[in-house]
Structure 1
Amino acid sequence: MIPTRKLGALEVGAQGLGCMGMSHAYGVRDNDEESIATIHRALDLGVTLIDTANVYGAGTNEELVGRAIADRRDRVVLATKFGIVFGEDGQGVRGDAAYVRQCCEESLRRLGLDHIDLYYQHRVAPDVPIEETWGALAELVEEGKVRYLGISEASADSIRRAHAVHPVTALQSEWSLWTRELEDEVVPVCRELGIGIVPFSPLGRGFLTGAVRSVQDLPEDDMRRGLPRFAEGNFDRNLAIVEALRALAAEKGVTPGQLALAWVQHRGADVVPIPGTKRRTYLEENVAAATLELSADDLARIEAAAPEDAVAGERYPAHLARNAGR
């Protein structure tokens, strides 16, 4: 069993499980039985924070997770999200009070639950004051439909404004060896306010595991084919980072992915990464990283092998980047 950590006042296992890839973004939904078995195995290993969102698989991921946890609800800290919408112009964001309530009711129905443990604003809406969004969220807490509130991919200013309306328990943002922008302003604000940090994609969308050797290894409908860091030219430069990590990992008898994930785990006692997988084998490999000890020298060597300025390409293409970091 892995140890526990605190996200604000919320106690969870030191590593969570991101469920997006079971239904969304990384190829076809191919084996719900294995996905459910993976969630069950995660709970057995002490992984209590199970993360989904209403937009993953257009709601089908919440339904899948709901089935998986139905007979073991008391062992789960269930996190889901609202706010991202898709229309004629691609991905957009909503945060109006009526929509917040609508999304919560819909998620509760799909999950088969009477309350959500941790409810995130998935992105900050550009045209709705965050005070309106968080006022609606605070009402859901008062009604018992939500226990704790979180925010995702938000700026330091948005975090402060949300927290002034109702305490923010957790920030969920991308954080890994090749995505470190939040360290300058966002992490210090979270620590000032006592907000836990939940890094998504702590393995660089799987790239830092070393398992992806070519873009051709990815399914045709995999969203990573459209990300700049997986683009021709950038891919090979980024692969050199993985090779440097592989050499360090071999010295410690672990995989590159375990080393990269352990680096994230060592960012602080208030950090609970949520690597995603739909396979028990990869889950167990990830969980082992939660207790991998790294010395100050180890951490320095890892960062030297994967310097932030060596990463080629932006996180997102322009149409997705516009919704992050507001």
Structure 2
Amino acid sequence: MVKLAGKEVGQTGYGLMGLTWRANPPSQEQSFRAMRAALANGANAWNGGEIYGSPERNSLHLLNEYFTKYPGDADGIVLSIKGGFVPGQMFPDGSEKNVRRSIDECLKVLDGKKFLDLFECARLDPKTPVEITIGTIAEYVKAGKIGGISLSEVNAQTIRRASKAHKISAVEVEFSLWATDILENGIAQACAELDIPIIAYSPLGKGFLTGQIKSFDDIPETSFIRLLPRFQRDVFDENLKLVKEVEQLAAKKGSTPAQIALAWVRAYSGRDGLPIIIPIPGATTEERINENMTEVTLSKDDVAAIDEILKKTTIIGGRYHDAGMALCEL
């Protein structure tokens, strides 16, 4: 077990995907089954967002409903919530006024049914110094209204600046077999130096590394990943080569590609001076969560073999389109 915001969590968390980036979110019943399965499997680091959905209906509303039905689960879960955007828009506003609005709204919707362990602005506001944003959140920590502060998609310099303003409990960044940037751009190094755990979102490459998406046409028409550069028709087959390599190793191990991808992320946790890394795969069904939480052990030779595959593999296209990448400090 490792600690996050002062509480013990499993090596794998759960991206609260019940209402995230989906035109047709699953039913409450299905979401609750998935959430219960996550907790039963030891995935007690839950990650959601005010930005996942609309101001009227987002992750926090689902959480309120869940903890109304299962109040006994609240204390065992470490909850991290992303906010700090302009209400109803996908653009950051890290000003004191908006950060207060965002945290207050999150606390209002949770309605005391679950303590907010970590709050993070989903992206850094380029117009507001990070010290102001962090200082504002810190007031809520000091008042005992939230447990700690996380950062999301920020670079090493910002991590260090923010840490001088207040203790940072976690840094959330994308990390997977096809998003290894943090190993070279100083982010992992900075987190290790400052003893900050990394929360690895999209450890399954937004579903690509599961092996379930064989062609562009397999992506649901309502899915936002249809818009992402790495999923486009002209690069799809080239990027799929990595998945095929993972599938071959999975077959040898008697596991699934998703399990291999998650095992590789976990293998990097604390390795060679790296920080603790907690992957948070998103899932909407009990079956998928049970699959993700079935741990596969990779030997040193397995990890080395995968690393060699990565060295000779070129992923084509950015993680997001240009506008999206402009909000990622990498």
Give the shorter-chain TM-score range.
Answer: over 0.9
2:61 to 57, 60, 63: 63
After superposition, where does 1:232-271 map in structure 2 within 5 Å? 232-269=233-270, 270-271=276-277
Amino acid in structure 2 at the alignment position of 1:62:
L
- The answer on 1:54 being equivalent to 2:55 is no
Amino acid in structure 1 at the alignment position of 2:269:
G
Amino acid in structure 2 at the alignment position of 1:216:
D
- Determine the C-alpha separation between the residues in 2 that align with 1:51 and 1:110: 16
Verify the 8 A CA contact 1:55 1:85 in the aligned structure 2: no
Residue 117 of structure 2 is matched in structure 1 by 117
Residue 273 of structure 2 is matched in structure 1 by none
Displacement, 1:307? 3.6
Displacement, 1:13? 1.5
- Determine the C-alpha separation between the residues in 1 that align with 2:279 and 2:212: 20
Q: Deviations over 1:84-123 (max 9, x none)?
A: 3377xx7321101121111111011222336310111211
Amino acid in structure 1 at the alignment position of 2:215:
S
Number of corresponding residues: 318
The SS at the match of 2:327 is coil
- Determine the C-alpha separation between the residues in 1 that align with 2:3 and 2:32: 26
Displacement, 1:280? 0.5
Verify the 8 A CA contact 2:176 2:202 in the aligned structure 1: yes
Verify the 8 A CA contact 2:5 2:148 in the aligned structure 1: no
Verify the 8 A CA contact 1:27 1:219 in the aligned structure 2: no
Residue 192 of structure 1 is matched in structure 2 by 193
Q: Deviations over 1:179-206 (max 9, x none)?
A: 0111120000000001000000000001
Residue 321 of structure 1 is matched in structure 2 by 325
Structure 2 unaligned spans of 5+: 271-275
The SS at the match of 2:250 is helix
Bigger drift between 6-15 and 240-249 goes to 6-15
Q: Percent identity?
A: 35
Residue 296 of structure 1 is matched in structure 2 by 300
Residue 148 of structure 2 is matched in structure 1 by 148
Q: Deviations over 1:6-53 (max 9, x none)?
A: 236442121110013x21324411322111111111111111111101
Displacement, 1:308? 7.1
- Determine the C-alpha separation between the residues in 2 that align with 1:294 and 1:322: 35
Amino acid in structure 1 at the alignment position of 2:24:
V
- Determine the C-alpha separation between the residues in 1 that align with 2:291 and 2:101: 38
Amino acid in structure 1 at the alignment position of 2:78:
V
Verify the 8 A CA contact 2:5 2:118 in the aligned structure 1: no
Residue 281 of structure 2 is matched in structure 1 by 275
What TM-score does the superposition give when structure 1 sets the normalisation length?
Answer: 0.93
The SS at the match of 2:243 is helix
- Determine the C-alpha separation between the residues in 2 that align with 1:109 and 1:43: 24
Verify the 8 A CA contact 1:215 1:230 in the aligned structure 2: yes
Q: Deviations over 1:247-275 (max 9, x none)?
A: 11111100111101100011114111100
Change in 2 beyond 3 A, CA 1:10/1:155: farther
What TM-score does the superposition give when structure 2 sets the normalisation length?
Answer: 0.92
